[in-house]
Structure formats: structure tokens, C-alpha cells
Amino acid sequence: MENLEVAEVKPNMFVHVHAKEGYRITSYNPETDDIKNYSGSVCMYMPIRDAYDDDYRTITVEEHEAFEEQSRLAHEAEMKEYEMNR
């Protein structure tokens, strides 16, 4: 993965990675995933694999904030719909 600052491997356990300043790590794919399930982080603990690019990627803080806002709005719309249908 690109834009990583720190990567620490705990053999037979996990990899701990930190994104460079201005970036976040996410497994969210806007083409296939529900925005309500979005999450992004400065650091992640991930299973040990040969490659991560299929499941994880780095995005800019601006992209992260836009996804968070879209997620918030989607959750609010879902709650409003639920309240209307009660």
C-alpha cells in the first residue's frame, strides 16, 4: 500500500500500519460497499497477508471526510425513514 509511514509486523499475529499525514486507511469500496458501513483510520491492525491492495487502500483526509459525511447523511435518512414508518 502507498502512503504508509509505519508498519510493524507481529509474526503469526498481525501487521500494524500507520498512514502518512494527510491520509487514512480504509477497506471501503464506493463501487460495491454501502456508505453506511464506511470506516477509515490513521492506523489499522490487519491480518498478515502477502498483499493488501485488493482489500485496503489509502485515501486523502478530504476523501475520508467526504465519505464520513455521506455515511452520516445516509444514517440520518435511514433513521428519518424508520421514524416515518413507525
pTM of the prediction?
A: 0.84
Of residues 67 and 11, more confidence is placed in: 67
Element (H, E) at 23: strand 23-26
Domain that holds residue 49: 4-84
The per-residue pLDDT for 68 is 98
Q: Is the pLDDT of residue 53 over 80?
A: no
Of the candidates 14, 68, 15, which has an alpha carbon nearest to the alpha carbon of residue 38?
68
* Contact call for residues 42 and 26 (beta carbons, < 8 A): no
- Joined together, the cell numbers standing for residue 20 give 502518512
Q: What percent of the chain has pLDDT over 90?
A: 67
Domain count, the chain: 1
The per-residue pLDDT for 40 is 97
The per-residue pLDDT for 50 is 80
